Amino acid sequence: MHHLKIHSVGEIRTVGFETGTSLLEILRSNGVQVMAACGGNGTCGKCKVKVKDVGMVTSCLYFPGHDEEVFLPRSLESKVLTDQHDYTLSIELEPGDLIEKSEHPVGVAIDVGTTSIAMYFIDLNNGHTLGIAGTMNSQGQYGADVISRINYCSHKPDKLKDLQAAVLNDIRSLIQKECESHKRKLTDIVKVSVAANTTMLHMLLGEDPTAIALAPFTPKFIDAKILPASKLELGLNPAAKVHVLPSISAYVGADVVAGLAAIDPPESIKNYLFVDIGTNGEMAIVTPDKIWTCATAAGPAFEGANISCGMGAYAGAISSFSKDDVVTINDEKAIGICGSGLLEAVAYLLDNEIVSMEGNLEEDFVLVDANKSGTGDAVALTPKDIREVQLAKSAISCGIIALTEKAGLSYDEVDALFVAGGFGNYMNIESAIRIGLLPQEMKGKVIQIGNTAGAGAVLDVCSEKFAKRLNEVVKKSEHFDLADDPNFAMNFAMGMYFS
Ligand code: FES
Digit-coded pLDDT (tens) for 163-191: 999 999 999 999 999 999 999 999 999 99
Whether residue 206 is contained in a domain is answered as yes
The DSSP secondary-structure symbol of 358 reads T
Q: Where are the alpha helices (DSSP H) in 21-156?
A: 23-29, 146-153
**Which CATH number goes with the domain that contains 119?**
3.30.420.480
Shared-domain flag, residues 343 and 217: no
Rounded CA-CA distance 459/447 in Å is 21
Residue 102 has pLDDT above 80, yes or no: yes
pLDDT for 299 equals 64
Which residue among 18, 36, 71 closes a domain?
71
Q: Across all residues in the chain, what is the average pLDDT?
A: 90
Task: Taking residues 292-316, report their average pLDDT.
Answer: 82
Whether residue 233 is contained in a domain is answered as yes
Mutate to test the pocket of ligand 1, among 28, 32, 34, 46 (most ligand atoms within 8 A of CB): 46
More confident: 57 or 84 = 57
- For 213-250, how does the pLDDT look when each residue is reduced to its tens digit (9 = 90+)? 998 899 999 999 999 999 999 999 999 999 999 999 99
- Phi (first) and psi of residue 214, to 5 degrees: -120, 135
Rounded CA-CA distance 363/358 in Å is 15
Q: Look at ligand 1, atom 1, and give the residue with the nearest C-alpha.
A: 42
For ligand 1, the distance from its centroid to the CA atom of residue 59, given in whole angstroms, is: 7
- 37 within ligand 1 shell (Cβ under 6 A): yes
Shared-domain flag, residues 24 and 120: no
Rounded CA-CA distance 207/209 in Å is 6
- 36 within ligand 1 shell (Cβ under 6 A): yes
Are 427 and 419 contacting, i.e. CB atoms less than 8 angstroms apart?
yes
**Which CATH number goes with the domain that contains 13?**
3.10.20.740
- For 116-161, how does the pLDDT look when each residue is reduced to its tens digit (9 = 90+)? 899 999 999 999 999 998 888 999 889 888 988 999 999 899 999 9
- For 351-385, how does the pLDDT look when each residue is reduced to its tens digit (9 = 90+)? 999 999 999 999 999 999 999 888 778 999 999 99
- 56 within ligand 1 shell (Cβ under 6 A): no
Helix (H) or strand (E) holding 322: strand 317-322
Shared-domain flag, residues 19 and 103: no
- 27 within ligand 1 shell (Cβ under 6 A): no
pLDDT for 335 equals 86
Which residue among 381, 396, 419 closes a domain?
381
Whether residue 222 is contained in a domain is answered as yes
Q: Which of 89-98, 193-202, 486-495 has the largest mean confidence?
A: 193-202
pLDDT for 84 equals 59
- Ligand 1, residue 41: give the atom nearest the CA: 4
Residue 233: how many CB atoms within 10 A of its CB? 10
Whether residue 322 is contained in a domain is answered as yes
Shared-domain flag, residues 107 and 195: yes
Shared-domain flag, residues 142 and 66: no
Shared-domain flag, residues 180 and 215: yes
Cis-peptide, bond into residue 216, ω within 30° of zero: yes
DSSP3 helix / strand / coil % (the chain, rounded to 5): 35, 25, 40
Are 145 and 282 contacting, i.e. CB atoms less than 8 angstroms apart?
no
Shared-domain flag, residues 107 and 248: yes
Shared-domain flag, residues 110 and 252: yes
Q: How confident is the model at residue 73 (pLDDT cuts 50, 70, 90)?
A: low
Shared-domain flag, residues 176 and 129: yes
For ligand 1, the distance from its centroid to the CA atom of residue 118, given in whole angstroms, is: 26
Residue 412 has pLDDT above 70, yes or no: yes
Q: How many structural domains comprise the chain?
A: 3
Task: Taking residues 254-269, report their average pLDDT.
Answer: 96
Whether residue 293 is contained in a domain is answered as no
Which residue among 381, 396, 424 closes a domain?
381
Residue 300 has pLDDT above 90, yes or no: no
Whether residue 410 is contained in a domain is answered as no
pLDDT for 76 equals 45
For ligand 1, the distance from its centroid to the CA atom of residue 46, given in whole angstroms, is: 5
Whether residue 232 is contained in a domain is answered as yes
CA 479 to chain centroid, in Å, comes to 21
Q: Where are the alpha helices (DSSP H) in 108-253?
A: 146-153, 157-181, 198-205
Helix (H) or strand (E) holding 192: strand 189-196
Domain residue limits at 48: 2-71
Shared-domain flag, residues 210 and 357: no
- For 310-334, how does the pLDDT look when each residue is reduced to its tens digit (9 = 90+)? 887 777 889 899 888 899 987 888 8
- 28 within ligand 1 shell (Cβ under 6 A): no
Shared-domain flag, residues 64 and 126: no
Closest CA to 251 of 199, 186, 187: 199
Burial of 251 (0-12, 13-18, 19+ CB in 10 A): buried
The DSSP secondary-structure symbol of 66 reads S
- 49 within ligand 1 shell (Cβ under 6 A): no
Rounded CA-CA distance 259/454 in Å is 8
Task: Taking residues 187-208, report their average pLDDT.
Answer: 97
Full-model pTM: 0.86
- 42 within ligand 1 shell (Cβ under 6 A): yes
Mutate to test the pocket of ligand 1, among 49, 60, 148 (most ligand atoms within 8 A of CB): 60
- 40 within ligand 1 shell (Cβ under 6 A): yes
- 73 within ligand 1 shell (Cβ under 6 A): no
Q: How confident is the model at residue 77 (pLDDT cuts 50, 70, 90)?
A: very low
Mutate to test the pocket of ligand 1, among 22, 33, 58, 148 (most ligand atoms within 8 A of CB): 58
Shared-domain flag, residues 124 and 233: yes
Whether residue 399 is contained in a domain is answered as no
Closest CA to 415 of 278, 244, 271, 316: 271
